[in-house]
Structure 1
Amino acid sequence: MGDPVRVQLLKQIGKADNVNVLRSLRDQVHEHMKGVLQMSPVEQFNEQLNELHDSVICRSILLAEAEMARLGMGSPPVPYAYLLFGSGGRQEQTLSSDQDSGIVFEDSADDSEEAKAYFQQLTSIIVSTLHQSGYPLCEGNVLSNNPEWCMSLAEWKAKLNSWFAEPAWEAVRYLLILADARSVYGDHRLAFELKDHYFNNVVDYPNITRRMLDNTMRHKVLLGVFGHLLKEQYGTDAGSLDIKYGAYIPLVNAVRLLALQAGIRDTATLSRIRTLAMHDQLESDEAASYEQAFRLFLRLRLMTTEQNDDGLYANNGKLSSRSLSREMTEELKSALRIGKRLQRKVFKRTTGRFM
């Protein structure tokens, strides 16, 4: 049965004519989805929540375009695609995700500087609108109003070439960010062409996945050598579990590297797992175990501690261990063991050695 409240919210978001209305609707989205979280299958909830986030983001872009026209800047001088990275790119945003975004615009034969100036101003309005609507800025400044993430297709290709040719730690981090890129608005063809160039480089630089391995394995699962859960030791989060970096991210990173090695372009983690199995890169039973573990991590991540900081929806990714029943604690331990096995598999497949 459909959710009439969610359907109505989608309609209202699509008609929002200013940032104050959009902010009010964003708040309603938060409260409604928070209320139905516990009674919804996690995969369905995730899909519906991310559809609402996409809707708010797209409406923010349309409002920004209208504001540019009102300011006398006209319409976009060339086609462009608005990109989401991180959890937005993977369609795995929580109730309180931040902004991770970029823009790729068509190469201009006439005045590339004019196009660049237009998109710099447009993205400043988009980022500001989303910020006012409760979306925190990316702490790493991976934002569409950062000139490093707002470029023409030719500039993007040149940047990718340099990252692949000289894969220092920061360049590899950026390449992994690009792997999760998804076009949410505009001319999707530009995003497809950018991803084509990306995956062609992965083929041309076969050792790149070895360089990606250190970053991929940087976060270990929160399971100790004796099978106990590793809890936060200090501060206000003492006794809590770091679900984001101790469960969710390790699995996301490992699956992403397997997908890159196989040339799979899906960005959502569950889609990557299923496509890996479809292409005989994973046995069906192990793929099913990774899916099950991921769904648990996704649900626990949706339960993590929320913060409202100056009107911004934020989340520290940590969950009080006391909020888990004995049964759920055992389920988490089992899922973390699966996550460890997956990390060992990725290490073996990438290096030819055992961890």
Structure 2
Amino acid sequence: MGDPVCVQLLKQIGKADNVNVLRSLRDQVHEHMKGILQMSPVEQFNEQLNELHDSVICRSIILAEAEMARLGMGSPPVPYAYLLFGSGGRQEQTLSSDQDSGIVFEDSVNDSEEAKAYFQQLTLIIVSNLQQSGYPLCEGNVLSNNPEWCMSISEWKVKLNGWFAEPAWEAVRYLLIMADGRSVYGDHRLAFELKDHYFNNMIDYPNIIRRMLDNTMRHKVLLGLFGHLLKEQYGSDAGSLDIKYGAYIPLVNAIRLLAIQAGIRDTSTLSRIRRLAMHNELESDEAAGSEQAFRLFLRLRLMTTEQNEDGLYANNGKLSSRNLSREMTEELKSALRHGKRLQRKVFKRITGRLM
């Protein structure tokens, strides 16, 4: 990380001794990164921003462990890994991302209930620390303090087995969420073991990829039949473009499904594109077009309107079309056309039919 301000912020975050200090530093991160967004190469900016997010999250966990010790709960009874999903798992968080998290902990040879009770209390503090630091809760309740997302490694394996064996819509959605999972703190070995189990199940249940396709194709690109941009029609966002769900998510989802099918375990979209090209799952021109489109969508998503609600950083992923120059509008249309072609490729590869 070459930016001296970011380097200094990382050092300060690593020394923060309470959540109020951490919140102040998170605000400084926000203001600094917002100030350099327009002048920074988007890939470099994204790496810096996500390193800072990771640092805040890790410090929140360390402060929570210290609080548990102060409460007389001691240290973690078994090793554990703190997992990030969604944009955090993909290392694609924006200036204002919510919490998508989970915990996997080692099976206890002594008292499994004691271990479970410890992590339930620990995660309550972690989630609270992150909320106080400006991170909203996940609306879908994919949170480490939800017992469904805080389990021992053996419990996680049973859960995954169930999702694969009975792939209802919600189970498939959770499986796709798991594909983006990344360990940000703790014993990374547990996360690797969980990912091993996931991909072994992909081999045992090859038809699951057809079920994943429906979820992957749910969001269409915001390009009309005649090549025009599809704008929001109603409400306060009328005239804006849904960058998150009309550009970014369709491409991210398509690349993710190709990566899952190919057994690629990288979680970031750019890494997945490059791995797909290395494995000849994408032609060189397809990979180059996907990288170019992704960088544009990422930059536009970083530009989306922010709403600081009750001290929490949040945004709706929508961008006023007035913020786009004519050149950028044409670039967006070209990238969206690529996104459509990519969706057709995924559909044909999995079904054998044209979309």
TM-score (norm 2): 1.00
How far, CA to CA, are the matches of 1:200 and 1:145 in structure 2? 27
Tell me the distance in 2 between the aligned counterparts of 1:99 and 1:294: 22
- For residues 263 and 244 of structure 1, what CA distance do their matches in structure 2 show? 26
| 1:242-273 deviations in Å (ceiling 9; x for gaps) | 00000000000000000000000000000000
Residues of 1 paired with 2:3 and 2:154: CA distance? 43
What secondary structure sits across from 1:274 in the alignment?
helix
CA distance in 2, matches of 1:247, 1:350: 22
Q: Could you tell me how far 1:193 is from its partner in structure 2?
A: 0.1
Per-residue CA deviation, residues 154-201 of structure 1 (Å, 9 max, x unaligned), is 000000000000000000000000000000000000000000000000
Name the residue aligned to 1:197. Answer: 197
**Partner residue in 2 for 1:69:** 69
SS at match of 1:17: coil
* d(CA) in 2 for partners of 1:108, 1:349: 43
Deviation, 1:3, is 1.1
- Distance in 1 (CA, whole Å) between partners of 2:190 and 2:278 is 27
- 1:25-52 Cα offsets, whole Å, 9 max, x none, are 0000000000000010000000000000
In structure 2, the partner of 1:107 is: 107
Equivalent-residue separation in structure 1 for 2:7 and 2:182 (angstroms): 24
Name the residue aligned to 1:90. Answer: 90
Q: Tell me the distance in 2 between the aligned counterparts of 1:65 and 1:344.
A: 47
Stretches of structure 2 lacking an aligned partner (at least 5 in a row): none
The 2-side partners of 1:48 and 1:8 are apart by 12
Aligned equivalents of 1:38, 1:26: Cα separation in 2: 20
After TM superposition, what 4+ stretches of structure 1 lie above 4 angstroms from structure 2?
none
The CA distance in 2 between the partners of 1:10 and 1:216, in whole Å, is 36
Whole-Å separation in 2 of the counterparts to 1:349 and 1:261: 10
Cα RMSD for the two superposed structures: 0.6
Matches of 1:177 and 1:76 in 2, distance apart? 26
Partner of 2:289: 289
Equivalent residue of 2:235, what SS?
coil
C-alpha separation in 1, matches of 2:281 and 2:343: 15
SS in 1 for 2:135: coil
Q: Deviations over 1:222-242 (max 9, x none)?
A: 000000000000000000000
Q: Deviations over 1:291-319 (max 9, x none)?
A: 00000000000000100001000010000
Note the C-alpha offset of 1:2. 2.1
SS for the counterpart of 1:87 is helix
Q: Look up the match of 1:80.
A: 80
Q: CA deviation at 1:4?
A: 0.9
Partner of 1:215: 215
- Give the 3-state SS of the residue equivalent to 2:237 in structure 1: coil
In 2, the alpha carbon distance for the partners of 1:2 and 1:354 equals: 46
Task: Give the distance between the partners of 1:74 and 1:24, measured in 2 at CA.
Answer: 28
The structural deviation recorded for 1:109 is: 1.2
- Whole-angstrom CA distance in 2 between matches of 1:295 and 1:250: 14
Q: Whole-Å Cα distance in 1 between the matches of residues 129 and 333 of structure 2?
A: 41
Distance, in Å, in 2 between the alignment partners of 1:82 and 1:66 is 16
Shift of the alpha carbon at 1:330? 0.3
CA distance in 2 between counterparts of 1:200 and 1:37 reads: 41
**Normalising by structure 1, what TM-score?**
1.00
**Equivalent pairs, count:** 355
SS of the residue 1:236 aligns to? helix
- 1:55-106 per-residue CA deviation (whole Å, 9 max, x = no partner) reads 0000000000000000000000000000000000000000000000000000
Q: CA deviation at 1:285?
A: 1.1
Displacement, 1:137?
Answer: 0.2
SS class of match (2:121): helix
Identical-pair percentage: 91
How far did residue 9 of structure 1 move? 0.2
Quote the residue 1:4 is aligned against.
Answer: 4
Following superposition of structure 1 onto structure 2, how do residues 18-97 of structure 1 map, counting pairs within 5 Å? 18-97=18-97
Q: 2:236 is paired with a residue of what secondary structure?
A: coil
Whole-angstrom CA distance in 2 between matches of 1:175 and 1:233: 33
SS at match of 2:139: coil
Distance 1:114 1:258 in 2: 41
Task: For 2:78 and 2:196, locate their aligned partners in 1 and report how far apart those are by CA, in whole Å.
Answer: 20
Give me the whole-angstrom Cα distance separating, in 1, the residues matched to 2:146 and 2:42. 34
